[in-house]
Amino acid sequence: MKNNPRKKIRGKGWKKTTSISLAKYRTISSAVLKVLTKDAMRFSDVVRGVEKRVKSFSGSVAWYTVACLRELERQKKIIRHKTKPVGYSRK
């Protein structure tokens, strides 16, 4: 059995946690923090920026970006703006 450490994802307001590969969490969350600015960015722009930084990623970059954004928001490292469309920025 292969050792694959997991990262618990606890979105703000979620009743249930989920988990993803710790390596994938580190890769995507690092890219998210590099992409985000102090100004609110649309989700699609965040995903495009992350895709440019993670070239050979196995899995859905958009899905993992959502998971990482939720966890980073819970950790108070980023801000989710309640705008239409939703925006994200660095703290």
Has residue 39 been placed in a domain?
yes
pTM above 0.75, yes or no: yes
The tally of domains found in the chain comes to: 1
The CATH number of whichever domain residue 57 belongs to comes to 1.10.10.10
Has residue 1 been placed in a domain?
no
Has residue 55 been placed in a domain?
yes
Has residue 49 been placed in a domain?
yes
**Positive or negative: CA dihedral 72, 18, 26, 34:** negative
3-class state of residue 20 by DSSP: strand
Short-list 31, 38, 30, 29, CA closest to 67: 29
Q: How far apart are CA 49 and CA 53, in angstroms?
A: 7
pLDDT of 45 strictly over 70? yes
pLDDT of 13 strictly over 90? no
Parent domain of 86: 6-10+19-90
pLDDT of 89 strictly over 50? yes
Each residue's pLDDT tens digit, 51-86: 999 989 999 999 999 999 999 999 999 999 999 999
